Amino acid sequence: MGWGCLLLGGATDALAQDAKPQAIIEKAFPHSNKCKRCHERVFEEWETSPLSKSIHSPAFRVSLDAYLNSPGGKDKALCFRCHAPQVREFPDHAQLFVDQVRSGNPSLDGVACTQCHLIKQVDRAKHPPEPKYEIGSKILYGPYKDAVQNLAHQSMDLELFQKSDLCLNCHQSVPSAANLGKANDLLGNWDRSQAVKSGKECQHCHMPEQVGESANGEKKRKVANHTFPGRIGTLRQDAAKLDVQTKLDGDKTTVTVKVQSLVPHNLPATHPAWATVVLNLEVKGKNLKTVFTDSRIYGRTYADSKGQKTVFDFEAVKVLDDTVLKPEETRTEMFSFPTPKDTKTFDVEAILSYGPITGPAPFLERVEAESSKGSQDPVFQPIEIVRRTDNVPVGR
């Protein structure tokens, strides 16, 4: 079998005559459950990924409502251009997408199989880049030159599926923050990074090669992983390094932390307002009692038209502060504090983490209320990237 077993040829006349918007959309972009029949491995990987939750998460549901209730929230399709890209082909049915998200249990796919494998090209002349879909032709696109012939669909290999261009239409900028111009660039100068110069594309890290079946029962070969590791998964442990140096000078101690980004894009590089990376420093003295804490936050702070801070990209009109770690940048941070007393040693612990979701209290309270996990929802928890702990002798 090839990739994307969608049974495109199985549409019936009855379905073609069905005027219901969802049936029309799913005829053009068949549901991922159809892919699962032949591509069980890929489906199970995708199902664990953040992409599979693109229109299911409470944070998206609450954010969508905030946008639609805002003065500029007239374009109902805007948020879905990345969170359910098939809306680009069906802008007249945007209300269906809104209703499904508000239901709390959408049956439409967000970002799934056909939302990627029907892309024939990406127009990088537009900002953000625009995907061009090929629908109605029974052809699914992907990276394999030796796709096995099957009765479900035709398979065609495209070099695009091994290029970063495929990812840019959703991951380079946010449509609702277009007025911010370059300040809305999520990736930074990624195309000038050493990683890109060495020939690496987005897929190298975020769809790593593995050995397995593309379709059920197919001969095992090199295939792409579809869990899309990033801040979720072990890939984040390769995102940065910490170097910690402690200098005692009598009653004063200085800790110098070098934060080295190892990724070829901005860090963080997801949502332009919520996304933060936090460096926490904690010093523990006698009996492991905390005697000093401090932090540094890497991200962007935005202001709305009234000059007030906002986490919503659709409200942002300018950048107040930008501390994002640029591609492959090393940032040096210094912390000073009184040397711990009455102890022979003290511990210095530096932790770099992805920060939890931020925003005004009513927004966060509603996200918590909408989540089945409440305050234990992962969006409220920091996600550790790297940690360094040193035990420092006071007498040295």
DSSP state string for 339-387: PPPS-SEEEEEEEEEEPPP---HHHHHHHHHHSTTGGGSGGGS-EEEEE
Are 379 and 299 contained in the same domain? yes
Are 210 and 304 contained in the same domain? no
Of the candidates 330, 304, 340, 297, the residue with the CA atom closest to the CA atom of residue 319: 304
Are 220 and 114 contained in the same domain? yes
Residues paired with residue 157 on neighbouring β-strands, in sequence order:
142
What is the C-alpha to C-alpha distance for residues 69 and 66, in angstroms, rounded to an integer? 5
Are 59 and 156 contained in the same domain? yes
Beta carbons within 8 Å of 37's beta carbon, 6+ residues apart = 5, 7
Are 41 and 156 contained in the same domain? yes
Are 137 and 282 contained in the same domain? no
Is residue 372 assigned to a domain? yes
pLDDT of res. 113: 96
Is residue 181 assigned to a domain? no
pLDDT of res. 148: 74
Is residue 172 assigned to a domain? no
* CA separation, residue 157 to residues 124, 148, 343 (Å): 20, 12, 65
Which DSSP string corresponds to 5-56? Answer: ---GGG--HHHHH---HHHHHHHHS--HHHHHTT-HHHHHHHHTSGGGGTTT
Is residue 191 assigned to a domain? no
Query: Domains in the chain: how many in total?
Result: 2
Are 238 and 217 contained in the same domain? no
Is residue 272 assigned to a domain? yes
How many CA atoms lie within 13 Å of 325's alpha carbon, on the beta-carbon side?
Answer: 30
Which structural domain range is residue 31 located in? Answer: 8-163+201-224
* pLDDT digits (tens), the chain, 396 positions: 334 343 344 433 433 443 489 999 999 999 999 999 999 999 999 999 999 999 999 999 999 999 999 998 999 999 999 999 999 999 999 999 999 999 999 999 999 999 999 999 999 888 778 999 998 888 999 998 877 777 778 889 999 999 999 999 899 888 888 888 878 889 999 999 999 999 999 999 999 999 988 888 888 889 999 999 998 888 999 999 999 999 999 999 999 999 999 999 999 987 777 899 999 999 999 999 999 999 999 999 999 999 999 999 999 999 999 999 999 999 999 999 999 988 999 999 999 999 999 999 999 999 999 999 999 999 999 999 999 999 999 975
Is residue 255 assigned to a domain? yes
pLDDT of res. 198: 95
* Token pair in block for residue 76: 């109902």
Are 282 and 206 contained in the same domain? no
Are 212 and 342 contained in the same domain? no
The CATH number that applies at residue 298 is 2.60.40.2360
pLDDT of res. 395: 74
Are 367 and 276 contained in the same domain? yes
Is residue 106 assigned to a domain? yes
pLDDT of res. 15: 34
Is residue 24 assigned to a domain? yes
What is the C-alpha to C-alpha distance for residues 297 and 303, in angstroms, rounded to an integer? 17
Are 212 and 272 contained in the same domain? no
What is the C-alpha to C-alpha distance for residues 151 and 130, in angstroms, rounded to an integer? 31
pLDDT of res. 365: 97
